[in-house]
C-alpha cells in the first residue's frame, strides 16, 4: 500500500493490498477499496462507496457523493463498483436516493472525463461512456453499450446491450439492443450498431436476422405490438428475441427511426 503524505484516508476505510492513494486525495469512512486500485490526486471517494480490484480513479473524480434529489433523507445508500474500471478526470457518481439502494457499475467499465451517473444508475459490464455524457436517475445500460460525448439520457431510460449512442444524442425513450442513435437529435435511432456487433463476435447470420427484424419493427407500417407478434413468430434467433423482450419490458416506449436513415451495409 502506498498513501501519499498529503492524502486523507479515514481509519474507517477498508483498503486492499497494493492500493495507491495520490496527493491530496480523500477516502472517507465506510468505504472499500479493492486490491490494486489507484486513487489519483485530488480525487474523492465518499462514504458507502466500494471499488472492486484494479480500478483506477483519475484526478478530481468524485465517487459516492449525495444524490441530487430533494427527496433524499441522508440515509445510508451506496455506490457499488466492479473490477477493472477506469474513471477519468472529473467523473461524478452519486449514491442511491432511497435507503439501502445503490448506484451500480459493472466490471471493466470506462467513464471518460466529466461524465456523470446520477442516483440509482445501473451499468452492465464493459460499458464505455465518453466525455461529458450525463445519465439521470435510474437509467439502466446493458453490457458493452457505448455512449458518446455529451449525450444526455432522461431518468428511467433503458439502453440495450451493444447499443451505441451518437454524440449529443438526447434520449428520453428506451434504445433497443444493438441499435445506434442519431447525433444531435432526440429519440431517434439510425439503424444497427454493425461495428459493435462484429466486434462482439455476432455471426453474419444473426446480423442478417437483426437487420430484417429492424425492418419489421420500423419499416413495415405495423405498430409496435403487431411488429412484436410478427417477430415472435418469424424470427426465433436469440438476438431478435432479446430485442423483443427488451421492448416488452419498456415503460417509456422506444426510440423511433430517423425517416431518411438507410440501413448500413454489412
Relative to beta strand 256-257, strand 179-181 is unpaired
> Residue 165 forms beta bridges with which residues?
147
Virtual torsion, Cα 249, 151, 77, 28, nearest 10 deg: 150
Max Cα–Cα distance, the chain, nearest Å? 66
| Residue ranges of the chain assigned to CATH 2.160.10.10 | 2-138
Virtual torsion, Cα 160, 161, 167, 173, nearest 10 deg: 0
**Which pLDDT band holds residue 184 (cuts at 50, 70, 90)?**
confident
Does the structure show a pLDDT above 80 at 152? Answer: yes
Strands of the 164-165 sheet, one edge to the other: 2-3, 20-21, 38-39, 56-57, 86-87, 110-111, 128-129, 146-147, 164-165, 179-181, 188-192, 256-257
The predicted pLDDT at position 261 comes to: 39
Please write the tens of the pLDDT for every residue from 30-75.
999 999 999 999 999 999 999 999 999 999 999 999 999 999 999 9
Closest to 147 in 3D by CA, of 170, 130, 123: 130
The predicted pLDDT at position 45 comes to: 98
- CA atoms of 229 and 243, how far apart (whole Å): 12
For domain 2-138, the CATH class is mainly beta
Residue that the C-alpha cell 458493452 belongs to: 144
Q: Which residues of 38-75 are buried (b: 16+ CB within 10 A; e: fewer)?
A: bbbebbbbbbbbbbbbbbbbbbbbbbbbebebeebeee
For domain 198-257, the CATH class is mainly alpha
| Residue ranges of the chain assigned to CATH 1.20.1180.10 | 198-257
Average pLDDT of the chain is 95
Please write the tens of the pLDDT for every residue from 108-134.
999 999 999 999 999 999 999 999 999
Q: What is the pLDDT averaged over residues 5-15?
A: 98
Percent of the chain with pLDDT over 70: 97
The predicted pLDDT at position 38 comes to: 98
The predicted pLDDT at position 162 comes to: 98
Please write the tens of the pLDDT for every residue from 155-167.
999 999 999 999 9
Does the structure show a pLDDT above 50 at 250? Answer: yes
Does the structure show a pLDDT above 50 at 263? Answer: no
Q: SS3 string of the chain?
A: CEECCCCEECCCCEECCCCEECCCCEECCCCEECCCCEECCCCEECCCEEECCCCEECCCCEEEECCCCCCCCCCCCEEEECCCCEECCCCEEECCCCCCCEEEECCCCEECCCCEECCCCEECCCCEECCCCEECCCCEECCCCEECCCCEECCCCEECCCCEECCCCEECCEECCCEEECCCCECEEEEECHHHHHHCCCCHHHHHHHHHHHHHHHHCCCCHHHHHHHHHHHCCCHHHHHHHHHHHCCCCCECEECCCCCCCCC
Amino acid at each position: 500500500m502506498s498513501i501519499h503524505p498529503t492524502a486523507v484516508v479515514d481509519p474507517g476505510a477498508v483498503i486492499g493490498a497494493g492500493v495507491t492513494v495520490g496527493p491530496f486525495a480523500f477516502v472517507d469512512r465506510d468505504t472499500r477499496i479493492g486490491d490494486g486500485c489507484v486513487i489519483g490526486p485530488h480525487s474523492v471517494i465518499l462514504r458507502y462507496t466500494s471499488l472492486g480490484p484494479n480500478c483506477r480513479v483519475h484526478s478530481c473524480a468524485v465517487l459516492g457523493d449525495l444524490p441530487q434529489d430533494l427527496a433524499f433523507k441522508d440515509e445510508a445508500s451506496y455506490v457499488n463498483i466492479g473490477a477493472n474500471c477506469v474513471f477519468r478526470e472529473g467523473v461524478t457518481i452519486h449514491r442511491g436516493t432511497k435507503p439501502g439502494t445503490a448506484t451500480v457499475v459493472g466490471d471493466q467499465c470506462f467513464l471518460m472525463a466529466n461524465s456523470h451517473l446520477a442516483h440509482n444508475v445501473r451499468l452492465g459490464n464493459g460499458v464505455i461512456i465518453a466525455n461529458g455524457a450525463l445519465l439521470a436517475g435510474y437509467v439502466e445500460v446493458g453490457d458493452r453499450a457505448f455512449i458518446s460525448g455529451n449525450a444526455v439520457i432522461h431518468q428511467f431510460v433503458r439502453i440495450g446491450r451493444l447499443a451505441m449512442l451518437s454524440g449529443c444524442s438526447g434520449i428520453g425513450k428506451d434504445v433497443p439492443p444493438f441499435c445506434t442513435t442519431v447525433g444531435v437529435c432526440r429519440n431517434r435511432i439510425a439503424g444497427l450498431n454493425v461495428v459493435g456487433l462484429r466486434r462482439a463476435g455476432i455471426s453474419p447470420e444473426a446480423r442478417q436476422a437483426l437487420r430484417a427484424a429492424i425492418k419489421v419493427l420500423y419499416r413495415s407500417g405495423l405498430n409496435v405490438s403487431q411488429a412484436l407478434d410478427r417477430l415472435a413468430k418469424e424470427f426465433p434467433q436469440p438476438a431478435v428475441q432479446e430485442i423483443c423482450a427488451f421492448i416488452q419490458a419498456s415503460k417509456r416506449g422506444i426510440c423511433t427511426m430517423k425517416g431518411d436513415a438507410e440501413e448500413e451495409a454489412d
